[in-house]
Amino acid sequence: MGRVLVTGGKGFLGTHLVRRLLADGQEVRVFAHRGSKQGEASTDGKCEVQWGDIRHFSDVEQAVKGVEKVFHLISNFRKGGSDKADAYAVNVEGTQNVLNAAKKYGVGRVVHCSTIGVHGDVQAIPAHEETPFNPTDLYQETKLMAEQYVWKFHQETGLPISVVRPISLYGPEDLRMLKLFRTIKKRQFIYIGPGKVLFHPAYIDDVIEGFLLCASHEKAVGEAFIIGGDGYLPLHDLVDRIAAQLQVPAPSLHIPLRPVEWLAGLCESVCTPLGVEPPLHKRRVSFFKNNRAFSIEKVKRVLGYAPRVSLEEGLKRTIRWYEDHELL
């Protein structure tokens, strides 16, 4: 059983993937930027950790050398004020580094983590793998550029590659969605707009199963798969279900979308040139504006994927973890 490399193995997705690989008896190497902390207690000491910069080929080359499979998860995460050069360097050039190193050292399979964001705001519901690309921000644009390079590299070199476009992740240890749970718990949640946009939750354990299938199934090579939960629902239904699990009244206060969008744009235009993360930005507002509704029929049909965790159970597990760690 060969060694497996997980780039970004200290993040939310990476931590869960590394933990599962270790539980399955795999020998795991993590590649991460020094200072990454999430998941440290649960995986450190159990796998090899190589610190480095995805933008430096020499670092990536050292990480890839001697591994059988690569899960490439590192990305310039969603920030309102991301620097364009940095986003391109991490998301696009970093991916190029991983693929070039994988080809050089004869890696048997690469699983590249893209994003459903390449499809942008979904208009034809549900979206699927062939839905036209429509990125709406810097993160999505550079992730699409990276994925397009992946396909070009696969066609030109024959390197066995699969692409995963994970749907909106949540679960224990996720800190990105914590603000949603926390504001609902504190009765501070306010809808921006009517709350009718569609949201598609993807419980972390189910998504990990999809990644593992893409790393092992022969039919996954050369294919992209949208992976997540079994269904989507209006945002206000999701908020109501979280409120019910937290045993608090369902939020009902709404403010208009357009003025908040304008304010978010103004914040970005002022803060970004100064290198300051905007307190409000368009990506945050997009949570209340853009539809996220997808079909997972392809990954079910081709790879036999089957999500197992219901939304209710996933919310319970997530809330329990937040409460156990005094985050709610």
Integer Cα distance of 209 and 245 in angstroms: 26
Q: What number does CATH give the domain 3-171+201-231+293-309?
A: 3.40.50.720
Q: What is the pLDDT along the chain (328 residues), one digit of tens a residue?
A: 589 999 999 999 999 999 999 999 999 999 998 765 555 545 556 889 999 999 999 999 999 999 999 999 998 865 544 578 888 999 999 999 999 999 999 999 999 999 999 998 888 899 999 999 988 888 899 999 999 999 999 999 999 999 999 999 999 999 999 999 999 999 999 999 999 999 999 999 999 999 999 999 999 999 999 999 999 999 999 999 999 999 999 999 999 988 888 888 888 788 777 777 777 777 778 888 888 899 999 999 999 999 999 999 999 999 999 999 999 9
Integer Cα distance of 209 and 217 in angstroms: 12
Q: Which residues neighbour 291 within 8 Å (Cβ) at sequence distance 6 or greater? A: 121, 122, 123, 125, 197, 198
pLDDT digits (tens, 9 = 90+) for 218-277: 999 999 999 999 999 999 999 999 999 999 999 999 999 888 888 888 887 887 777 777
pLDDT at site 136: 83
For 150-188, letters b (16+ CB in 10 Å) and e give beebbeeeebbbbbbbbbbbbbbbbeebbebbeebbeee
pLDDT at site 128: 95
Domain ranges of the chain: 3-171+201-231+293-309
Percentage of residues in the chain with pLDDT exceeding 90? 76
pLDDT at site 36: 58
Q: Which amino acid is at 103?
A: K
CB half-sphere exposure, 109, CA atoms < 13 A: 22
pLDDT at site 101: 98
pLDDT digits (tens, 9 = 90+) for 125-157: 999 999 999 888 888 999 999 999 999 999 999
Q: Which residues neighbour 68 within 8 Å (Cβ) at sequence distance 6 or greater? A: 2, 3, 4, 107, 108, 109
